[in-house]
Structure 1
């Protein structure tokens, strides 16, 4: 059965994360999606909410969805002050699941286009498939010829291939375009604007109760 890992800072988790993931699960037949909160993302600003707060929001957001669980391997104390490199995480995940389990890593089109800046990016497919979700405003192809050649060599349009092989394919999903970002949410809160339609009510309430993202102004 195909299982996926979905990484992010989730600062905070919002519908731009959940809705495409739910649509992706239905499209390719995912049985489980493990949400993977990053400790120190190498290519993004550091999270504003602390680790405990981000975990609490994740738990609230997925409480009503049996599809989701949380993988905290990047939050282990031994990794404190170390960047979260995806290739290392995927290697650990593969070792945990054995060589025959079909595994996939979910990423957005924006992340795919930035892969040449990632550590050992060409080794990602040694450990899993890549499931690519659409992102508003990002090109469908890369101007980097090396990356584009790599994508072409590994791309499949057959979702069943993801189940039949443990790793090695890139699949572009027909997921909905969600023009929602955590940056936008934090900005709205800081400017006393409502975010109720951008994230779950439970998460929205938690943000207010804990005065996150300068929510004390609201």
Structure 2
């Protein structure tokens, strides 16, 4: 695999939807910039045997990042497109008045500390699935999620937001709690919302950091 030096890897604003990305080819990452957002995908590792002492063989994974190993996350990409259409269309007209006010508050340009686009998109996606999708005939989203849940862990319905390290996951957790709680207070009988939350962490250090979520 060739070595590519990218002088400035930051080619998008963190406050706007990504518009450019570096292209991968069959030899790996390149310095060629593609003028569009990179679609969600993952690299498929290829297992190959490696000999150990004594003649035994052990499987190891070849993790070279090349274009031929990219597998698109089709469902994620489809949902992204739906959320984008909603964002550029009726947007706050399709949600509860509480949710509309929160979306306006989170995206207020006068905020002292602006939120990243990925944070806004994460909460928008959860809002779309919960409040909007059925209005546009997108029941397939929840159906697909429920089908995946049944295959992985029957009886426990889960929706996950996958975000990169340092992208502000704790803030999104706070946004989610605020969105759900305030809507539940406004509409106590609406089963789409809750005011009870369980925060699970991998250890006491992370648990202590997440105390910022306490009201």
Using structure 1 for the length normalisation, give the TM-score: 0.28
Using structure 2 for the length normalisation, give the TM-score: 0.28
